[in-house]
Amino acid sequence: MIPIGYLIYPIFLILTTCIAGFIYRKVDGTHDFNDSHKYLGYGKQFREWIEGSKGIPHNTPNFHYRMLLPSMCWDTRRLWNLISTLTTIYLPISCMVYLHVMGLSIEQSLFGGLLVLGLFGIFRFNLVGNILVDSTALMFSLLSAILLLQGHTALGILVACIAALTKETSPIFIALFSQNPIALLGFGSLLVYIIVNKPLRQARMNTFKYGLDKLKQNNSYDYILKVMVLPWGLLCIALIRPTGWLLLTLIAAYSQCLVSTDNARLYQWAFPVMIYLAVQYIPVQYMFIAIVVHLLNPWQIPSYNKRLMV
């Protein structure tokens, strides 16, 4: 069993950093909002996260829910960058611990953790686009799943509540990663936030219509294969004999693509389950070759994301 201290420490590290940054912002009064995300072209999206956390109405409903990091970091770019970078670096380690708790050997767990480095939507995207909530939400989700798998139910639910306030879909993935529906209690914190703040009162955008229109425009075989499947790289071998658990996780992950454009960043949320199943097909003695092949995947970066790597 993994010592619980090693799991809880990163949570308090991130939260302490957030609180310290919040206090610093209040005392110092500095703001660099206008330039904070311009270099990635996400100024409008970032602005809506911030406005949503403060109860300012806009047209993207789901951003209203992601209040934890925006309410702590607000427009302090360095703090956003620090938290996103730290949690992204921690993701391969979290994955290794998760795989080991799930019963894989140390060698297989190490192998699985290294495979995370070849997932553009999970690792490289969050390192480059480091004013996002995804890496932090994923870290909380994996830690919550690990706690639940180890029998620390109360702590697991507490972390699930924190994850839900970081990104609203997190409890669903925690329940899938841990195969324990009790993780859905994490929505409790989100429910309280909605009741208190009523964040959807003036939101008007029909996000599902937007997603369906996007799918109609990009329904070619070439697009589906190169953008929606091949970025998984070596992990595609998990699809050889898909389990019900994997299919449910993939449905949840791909469903997120109905409300956003950065597909790999969303559907690769299924990576813990994909890696867990994929590494069991690869003999340990071929791990090094498999990692090299995975990292050199020519379709790792979807074409619409290649601008991020310039």
Q: What tens digit of pLDDT does each residue of 217-257 get?
A: 666 667 778 888 899 999 999 998 889 999 999 999 998 88
Alpha-carbon span 195 to 202, nearest angstrom: 14
Weakest-pLDDT range from 186-200, 216-230, 278-292: 216-230
Amino acid identity, position 105: S
7 close to 97: Cβ distance less than 8 angstroms: yes
Alpha-carbon span 7 to 101, nearest angstrom: 12
Per-position b or e across 2-12, b if 16+ CB within 10 A of its CB: eeeeebbebbe
Res. 23: pLDDT tops 70? no
The residue that leads in pLDDT, 23 or 267, is: 267
Mean pLDDT of the chain: 78
Alpha-carbon span 181 to 183, nearest angstrom: 5
77 close to 126: Cβ distance less than 8 angstroms: no
The winner for highest mean pLDDT among 32-41, 82-91, 271-280 is 271-280
Res. 12: pLDDT tops 70? no
The pLDDT, as a whole number, for residue 246 is 96
Weakest-pLDDT range from 44-58, 92-106, 144-158: 44-58
Confidence of residue 202 (pLDDT cuts 50, 70, 90): very low
Tell me the two tokens of residue 190.
């989100």
Res. 38: pLDDT tops 90? no
User: For residue 171, what are the domain limits?
Assistant: 4-309
Weakest-pLDDT range from 45-59, 119-133, 227-241, 258-272: 45-59
308 close to 130: Cβ distance less than 8 angstroms: no
Res. 124: pLDDT tops 80? yes
* C-alpha separations of 296 from 120, 128, 130, 217, 300 in Å: 11, 19, 23, 29, 8
Amino acid identity, position 167: K
Weakest-pLDDT range from 8-22, 105-119, 226-240: 8-22
Confidence of residue 304 (pLDDT cuts 50, 70, 90): low
- Total domains in the fold of the chain: 1
* Phi, psi for 191 (deg, rounded to 5): -65, -45
Q: Name the DSSP class of 3.
A: -
User: Which pTM does this prediction carry?
Assistant: 0.81
Res. 41: pLDDT tops 70? no
Confidence of residue 42 (pLDDT cuts 50, 70, 90): very low
What is the pLDDT averaged over residues 165-174? 93
Amino acid identity, position 231: P
Torsion (CA) 267, 272, 277, 280 in degrees, nearest 10:
140
Alpha-carbon span 223 to 115, nearest angstrom: 24
Alpha helix locations (H) across 65-105?
A: 68-73, 77-101
Confidence of residue 79 (pLDDT cuts 50, 70, 90): confident
Confidence of residue 25 (pLDDT cuts 50, 70, 90): very low
Confidence of residue 170 (pLDDT cuts 50, 70, 90): very high
What is the pLDDT averaged over residues 154-161? 94
